[in-house]
Amino acid sequence: MQEFLESHLWKATLAAPQAADPYSEPRRILRDAFLSFRQRAEILAAEIARDLPSFTVHDISHLDALWETAGLIAGENYSLTPSEVFVLGCSFLIHDLGMGLAAYPGGLESVRQDPRWSDLLTQIYLEKNGCFPTQEQLDNPDAEIQLQATAEVLRILHAKQAEALAFATWQSKSGEVYHLLENTDLRVIYGKLIGRIAHSHWWQASALPEEFMTSVGAPTFAPPSWTVDALKLSCLLRVADAAHLDARRAPGFLRTIRRPAGISDEHWQFQSMLQKPQVKEDRLVFTSPCSLPIQNAPAWWLCYETLKMVDWELDQVDRILGDHQRPRLRARAVAGVDSPRELTAYIPTDHWIPIDASVRVGDVAELVKRLGGAALYGDDPIVPLRELIQNASDAIRARRVVDETPDWGAIFLRLGKDGSAWYVEVEDNGIGMSEKVLTGALLDFGNSYWSSPAMIHDFPGLLSSGFRSTGKYGIGFFHFSCGAREFKLERDALKTGERKQGFSNSPMV
């Protein structure tokens, strides 16, 4: 049974009316176009399991279930026009299709052209073998590493590929050309918007208002009231996709056949326990009729973290809709996620109590003092100075690779005096730092940006280019006590390519 046909979103907008309908023809045009689109999307969705067998279900049953989930979260009185529901439904269909190679007309070869492919091969090889691969090993990876890289690159690229799918073409050997959205007029009118909304489920929520502030007028064949407010639709897509976590995504028999491992298996475990969510007042309520035993504790904790993520998404969307004078959704939070003990009322445990024992740092400055400064560098000021110069050198060499400018770069050392205190300042015009780096890795004591997933995202191709960082520690925005001296990073600019870092023999503010 096609469950989406029973959703109130469908019945209220695109279903064939039971009584006389002055807009039956424009409604039929949208309905027929969607059903045709869905038939072809179903074929592509069925191929995802070939490339990502350890992932939970992403076939047409997931895409259809988003109608019910979105309707539940929005509430039955949430107003959407038939045009909006058509665009939303098409976005449901393509948002995850890029997780299968079949969604790329060029297949695996087109995916391998992305610079992140080589980066991921390099990262996986490094994690597996403890050393960087040779070019020969990158060109001819073993089957296991290639499978891992394929899964990861598809996960990274799938949302971006969704944007292209409304216009993508597949050509048969006999020359026949296929589109997912066959209706040419609707493809021209809504294809780009459908793709952008589908892509947006992978963006930061804060990017939605800027992208989707303007409503789109009704198509010429429909009444003027059939406008499309893409901001509402992008919000609905992201929360519906995040919240579809019930047992339909993880059938027990299918798990037995596919035998997922590690964290993938933990996803299967907890989702197989969840029933369809409910809404009580403004809370989305997830429940399980079964108690998880202690051996399934990792799966229970993953469930807790996942539901906290859904809660965060609902909160972000509620703020966006309220701030921009859009109708708010009925569900605005998830019940039970304020504490692990509270969630056991909904997702029970069997003779064990989940207690949050996460490591916390109450005094960051004291931790840095104990682990950094003299404990890390000793009493010789030349050691941290060398580290600063190595960091500057890393930034310059990275920029040379990214900008393809082998002769670029300069490092400046300055000696200065601030009152009675002398200081050394190191400045470079290297790669600079994005906002994410400034607020993430730079403030995360002990975390390195180089070779991380964040670097692969920011600078595709850098990791597999042969670039290797020389800095060992990374000073960050911290003071390090070293005998009578304190070392600190003085300033870093937001991606300006200008960076200053240094140390002094007295505290600097």
User: SS3 sequence, 180-233?
Assistant: CCCCHHHHHHHHHHHHHHHHHCCCCHHHHHHHCCCCECCCCCCCCCCCECHHHH
Answer for the pair 83, 30: CB distance below 8 angstroms, yes or no. yes
DSSP 8-state symbol, 418: E
Q: Are residues 206 and 105 in the same domain?
A: yes
Residues 12 and 142 in one domain: yes
Which of 222, 244, 266 is the last residue in one of the domains?
A: 244
Q: Which of 331, 357, 383 is the last residue of a domain?
A: 357
pLDDT, tens digit, for every residue of 444-472? 666 677 777 778 878 888 888 878 887 65
Residue 509 covered by a domain: no
Same domain, 240 and 351: no
In the chain, the percentage of residues whose pLDDT exceeds 70 is 87
**pLDDT value of residue 30:** 97
Contact yes or no for 204/312 (Cβ under 8 A): no
d(CA 75, CA 73): 6
Residue 370 lies in a domain: yes
Q: How many CA atoms lie within 13 A of 343 on its CB side?
A: 25
Give the orientation angle of helix 184-200 with respect to helix 82-94, to 10 degrees. Answer: 60
Residue 96 has pLDDT above 70, yes or no: yes
Burial label for 420, CB within 10 Å (0-12, 13-18, 19+), is exposed
Number of domains in the chain: 3
Over the range 296-310, which residues count as b (16 or more CB within 10 Å of their CB) and which as e?
A: beebbbbbbebbeeb
- Residue 125 in domain: yes
Taking alpha carbons only, the member of 445, 451, 449 closest to residue 499 is: 449
- If asked whether residues 65 and 147 sit together in one domain, one would say yes
340 and 426 within one domain: no
* Region 349-374 average pLDDT: 76
pLDDT confidence tier of residue 375, bands split at 50, 70 and 90: low
pLDDT of residue 484: 35
> Within this chain, do residues 253 and 240 fall inside the same structural domain, yes or no?
no
CATH of the domain at 399: 3.30.565
What range does the domain containing 281 cover?
Answer: 248-311+321-357
**Is position 164 within any domain?**
yes
In three-state form (DSSP H/G/I as H, E/B as E, the rest C), the secondary structure along 239-290 is: HHHHHCCCHHHCCHHHHHHHCCCHHHHHHHHHHHHCCCCEEECCEEECCCCC
What average pLDDT does the segment 470-487 reach? 47
In a domain, 316, yes or no: no
Backbone torsions φ then ψ of 378, nearest 5 degrees: 80, -165
Identify which of 361, 398, 357 has the alpha carbon closest to the alpha carbon of residue 478: 361
pLDDT of res. 488:
39
481 lies in the same domain as 376: yes
- pTM (2 decimals)? 0.83
In a domain, 51, yes or no: yes
Considering only CA atoms, which of 337, 345, 342, 341 is closest in space to residue 353? 341
The pLDDT score that the predictor gives to residue 443 is 64
Cα separation, 31 vs 13, in Å, equals 9
Tell me the average pLDDT across 186-202. Answer: 96
Last residue of a domain, one of 191, 224, 244: 244
Whether 229 is covered by a domain: the verdict is yes
Residues 258 and 302 in one domain: yes
In this structure, are 47 and 179 located in the same domain?
Answer: yes
Q: Are residues 19 and 144 in the same domain?
A: yes
One domain for residues 235 and 287: no
Instruction: Check whether residue 228 and residue 338 sit in a common domain.
Output: no
**Domain for residue 153, yes or no?**
yes
